[in-house]
Homo-oligomer: A and B are copies of this chain.
Amino acid sequence: MGQKVTVCRTEHFNAAHRLHNPAWDDARNAKVFGKCNLPNYHGHNYELIVKVTGEPDAETGYVMDMKALSDLIRELVTDQFDHRNLNTDVEVFRQLNPTAEHIAIVIYDILRPHLPQHLELKIILYETPRNAVEYPA
């Protein structure tokens, strides 16, 4: 039809993490990150919404097959993060503080090369039902 539509697919993963800046001493980490800095980790049921924007295909009526999108997210993201400790088990977060902001950017960077160039991508990540982030803004 020639008009841009956004398709949104929701997936989830359950992971442990803690917030910590290794360049700071313990007192500053505790002051800035509070309970999120506690040393033995806590965790979340992360709810992940991946939005892909483009024109529906003339033959299928799909911007992108949401089953294929779901499979891609599972293979590249949730199978890697689910039931893991983000700080210790996911390579990128050994150097990068796993705030919700950073996790959303990392997920974007993982998925972007696997989507056709003409499709736009946006990530929404709920860390809790009351805390969420969106990237790009």
Contact = CB atoms under 8 A, between A and B. Distances in A.
A121 to B, nearest CB: 12
A78 to B, nearest CB: 11
Interface of A: 1, 3-12, 14-17, 19, 21, 23-24, 32-36, 38, 40-45, 51, 53-54, 56, 59-63, 65-67, 82-85, 88-89, 96-102, 104-105, 120, 128-137
18 contacts: A3-B136, A5-B105, A5-B136, A5-B137, A6-B134, A7-B131, A10-B129, A11-B130, A34-B67, A40-B41, A41-B43, A41-B85, A45-B45, A53-B137, A56-B101, A56-B102, A61-B99, A62-B101
